[in-house]
Chain A
Amino acid sequence: MAPVARHTSRRSRLRRIPFLRILFLAVCVIFVVLPLYWVFVTSIKPSDDYLAIPPVWFPDKPTLVHYTAALFAYRGLNGLINSLIVSISATFLSCLFGTLMAYSLARFNTGGQHLSFWVLSQRFLPPIAIVLPIFLNYRVLGLNDTHVGLILAYTVFTLPVSVWMMFAYFRQMPRSLEEAALVDGCTRWTSFWRVAVPLAIPGIVAAAIFTFIACWTEFFFALVLTSRNAYTLPTVFRAFLSFQGAQYGEASALAIVSLVPSIVLGVLVQKHLVRGLTLGAIRG
Chain B
Amino acid sequence: MSDVKITGLHKRYGAFHAVRGIDLEISDGEFAVLVGPSGCGKSTLLRTIAGLEEASSGTIEIGGEVVNDYRPRDRDVAMVFQDYALYPHMTVANNIGFGLRARKMPKADIEARVSEAATMLGITSLLGRFPRQLSGGQRQRVAIGRAIVRNPKVFLFDEPLSNLDAQLRDEMRGEIKRLHQEIATTMIYVTHDQIEAMTLADRIVLMRDGLIEQQGAPLELFERPATTFVAGFLGSPRMSFLPGKLVLEGPTHGVRVGEVMLPVPAGRTLNGAHDGMSVLLGLRPEHLTRAQGEQPAEGVYRHEARIELIQPTGSRTYATFRLAGEPVNAELQAHDVSRAGQQMPIDINMMRASIFDADTQRAL
Binding site for B on A (CB under 8 A): 174, 176-177, 179-187, 190, 194-195, 198-199, 279, 281-284
16 additional A-B pairs beyond A179-B72, A183-B77, A282-B131, beta carbons within 8 Å, are A174-B85, A176-B82, A176-B83, A179-B52, A179-B79, A180-B146, A181-B98, A182-B71, A182-B72, A183-B50, A185-B102, A186-B102, A195-B87, A281-B132, A284-B132, A284-B136
Bound Cα distance from A185 to B50, whole angstroms? 12
- Chain B CB within 10 Å, residue with most, of A180, A190, A194, A195: A180
**Minimum distance in angstroms from A60 CB to a CB of chain B:** 55
Task: State which residues 58-103 of B face A: CB under 8 Å.
Answer: 71-73, 77-79, 81-83, 85, 87-89, 98-100, 102-103
In the complex, B284 has a CB within 8 A of chain A: no
Residues on the A chain within 8 Å of B77, using CB: 183
If over half of B's interface residues share one DSSP class (helix, strand or loop), that class is named, otherwise mixed; here it is mixed
Beta-carbon nearest neighbor of A278 in chain B: B132
Q: Mark interface residues in B126-150 (1 if CB within 8 Å of A CB, else 0).
A: 0000011000100000000010001
Contact B72 A183 (CB under 8 A): yes
How many residues on the B side are at the interface (Cβ–Cβ under 8 A)?
Answer: 27
Contact A283 B89 (CB under 8 A): no
Bound Cα distance from A174 to B83, whole angstroms? 9
Contact B87 A183 (CB under 8 A): no
Task: State which residues 115-165 of B face A: CB under 8 Å.
Answer: 131-132, 136, 146, 150, 156
Beta-carbon nearest neighbor of B103 in chain A: A185
Bound Cα distance from A282 to B133, whole angstroms? 9
Q: Mark interface residues in B259-295 (1 if CB within 8 Å of A CB, else 0).
A: 0000000000000000000000000000000000000
Bound Cα distance from A282 to B83, whole angstroms? 11
**Minimum distance in angstroms from A181 CB to a CB of chain B:** 7
Contact B103 A177 (CB under 8 A): no
Residues on the A chain within 8 Å of B82, using CB: 176
Q: A180-B79, A281-B132 are in contact. Are A185 and B99 (CB under 8 A)?
A: yes
Beta-carbon nearest neighbor of A180 in chain B: B85
Residues on the B chain within 8 Å of A184, using CB: 73, 78, 98-99, 102, 146, 150
- Chain A CB within 10 Å, residue with most, of B51, B82, B88: B88
Contact B73 A185 (CB under 8 A): yes
Option from B71, B73, B81 in Cβ contact (under 8 Å) with A176 = B81
Residues on the A chain within 8 Å of B73, using CB: 182-187
11 example contacts (A-B, Cβ-Cβ < 8 A) are as follows A176-B83, A177-B88, A179-B52, A180-B146, A181-B102, A183-B52, A184-B98, A185-B98, A195-B87, A199-B89, A282-B88
Bound Cα distance from A183 to B72, whole angstroms? 5
Bound Cα distance from A182 to B103, whole angstroms? 11
Bound Cα distance from A186 to B103, whole angstroms? 8
Bound Cα distance from A177 to B87, whole angstroms? 6
Residues on the A chain within 8 Å of B99, using CB: 184-185
Beta-carbon nearest neighbor of A177 in chain B: B85
Residues on the A chain within 8 Å of B71, using CB: 182, 187
**Minimum distance in angstroms from B152 CB to a CB of chain A:** 9
Residues on the B chain within 8 Å of A198, using CB: 89
**Minimum distance in angstroms from A184 CB to a CB of chain B:** 4
Contact B102 A176 (CB under 8 A): no
Bound Cα distance from A19 to B90, whole angstroms? 45
Bound Cα distance from A199 to B103, whole angstroms? 21
Q: A199-B88, A282-B132 are in contact. Are A183 and B79 (CB under 8 A)?
A: yes
**Minimum distance in angstroms from A183 CB to a CB of chain B:** 5
Beta-carbon nearest neighbor of A178 in chain B: B85
Residues on the B chain within 8 Å of A199, using CB: 87-89
Option from B81, B88, B131, B146 in Cβ contact (under 8 Å) with A179 = B81
Beta-carbon nearest neighbor of B88 in chain A: A282
Option from A180, A195, A279 in Cβ contact (under 8 Å) with B81 = A180
Beta-carbon nearest neighbor of A275 in chain B: B89
Contact B88 A279 (CB under 8 A): yes
Residues on the A chain within 8 Å of B136, using CB: 284
5 closest Cβ contacts across the A-B interface?
Answer: A184-B99, A185-B102, A176-B85, A180-B85, A282-B88
Bound Cα distance from A187 to B87, whole angstroms? 16
Residues on the A chain within 8 Å of B51, using CB: 182-183
**Minimum distance in angstroms from A3 CB to a CB of chain B:** 31
Contact B102 A183 (CB under 8 A): no
